[in-house]
Structure 1
């Protein structure tokens, strides 16, 4: 890819992310916009059952749209990273080309060295016999094509000449990703504790107030009277089970609110840096672009984690409501 084409590609991709108050119609939503769309968990198990179907498949329109836009944002960032990869490849090709020229200038055939061990040893032996001054002179002559080639980008200089907003975004991104593991471990601990508390709630014995038939509902001997008794028992037990699921759901709801509050400021800051730096698309520094891409991925990961936990929570809360009396009458059967 030529330098002109690379710069044109970068500029085009940067335009994808530029926001001016309102989001461009075809631009992927920003981190802030995605985070604002993360919903609270439903207030009760009956409502949770409207978010997923009986198979546990998510059907909530808002969450489905949010997941689709998270994927769209990821795809857009992949294009920015693709430009970075092409740039890195192009720089590598330039360095290799100049290295071959430099070696040829000092009488070394690079291609022959790679395929001919005897020739490679001959070159090494010759260099061992050189004085330090001769080696220095050889090195300077060998590096001359590389140093003179305007296509070669000094990465240290590229970091310096990047705009202040790009440098700030890169530094913030590096710090944010450095703290990612600690944040993840903390959040996983909160949700693990919530899952354990919810499981204990679901294990609490029910005070049904109606005698449970001794014969199993599925038993061939369970006659009409037996089935009527089971129906009465299920009618009394089912609301209690749903209420128990609601109580467990509220534990997850409180954890979601705690989690969301803990990441809100960090995501707000990330969004500000990423938008100002145009997601690194205009950066000349490979290091800066990598840190900014990592920043975006880590921030987006926070949102995806919340979406996954919301989905898991509504799935577990909806099972009894979807199954209805069947979960009482034949708890081992697949609900249909």
Structure 2
């Protein structure tokens, strides 16, 4: 929430208690002065200077009054301090209540503490932002678990059906059944390995090394050139040396996924893929563009979700397991980078990975 600048809580407490103390002291000094003047303990001489008049009236008369005033100030101070502290610390009670609510598993609650900016409002806003991120993360994990279960169940169900057919029809060609079983099993293995890679990338369990994204781009295009030629796609790679730091294996996997995605989601023939690296102040960029069908911004915004495959696939036999861009997203976050997907006006997609430059 945007708030107008305000006094800090520490300054508010300091001013409040200082003012309260000054008021109590003023009352005490006023009571003493009135008593002394009334009893004649303080008088003026001929020159106008103050002088003291001795006597026992001061002890007998002032002591009970002083004790009464002090007792009144004690009660007034405790009551006033309790009220002031309660008013000042009331926002903390709202934050504590929200924290207890969150510990029960309810992440939809928000504090939304009103008032001008101070330490308590800053803490409340940070807590609300944390709850929002947690809620989104939990929802994402729930969707991921549901999708992963569905994707893993599919090859198992197909395998079971093939085995049932082979068992009930002994005369059926076993070579055909074995071939289909091998294909299904390969897909299940690929999916499992992709899930493991996605998990490892999110843990940031790697030691950063010096990496040149331009070399990653060259290696990825050389490795995937046969696939591009098979699908009638032309690969073009150019750009500057782009030094960054991170995991060479993960950044190569990121580049491979992007180039592979650009090849298989392309035109049926005469498709193009452009892989470009560039440097900017404080950052380096890897951009992968491809031709293809026209994509809506809404569809593009969902492509980084696990198991999202867009609309139709041009090369259905190489579409992968639906985790390519999800893995790219996780690797980018693990390297403190940003991933941007933009539909091209003429069809296809432009994907940009921006990472911190190596200093």
Q: Same fold (TM over 0.5)?
A: no
TM-score scaled by structure 1? Answer: 0.25
TM-score scaled by structure 2? Answer: 0.24
Query: Which has the larger Rg?
Result: 2
Give the number of the structure whose residues are more often helix, by fraction.
Answer: 1
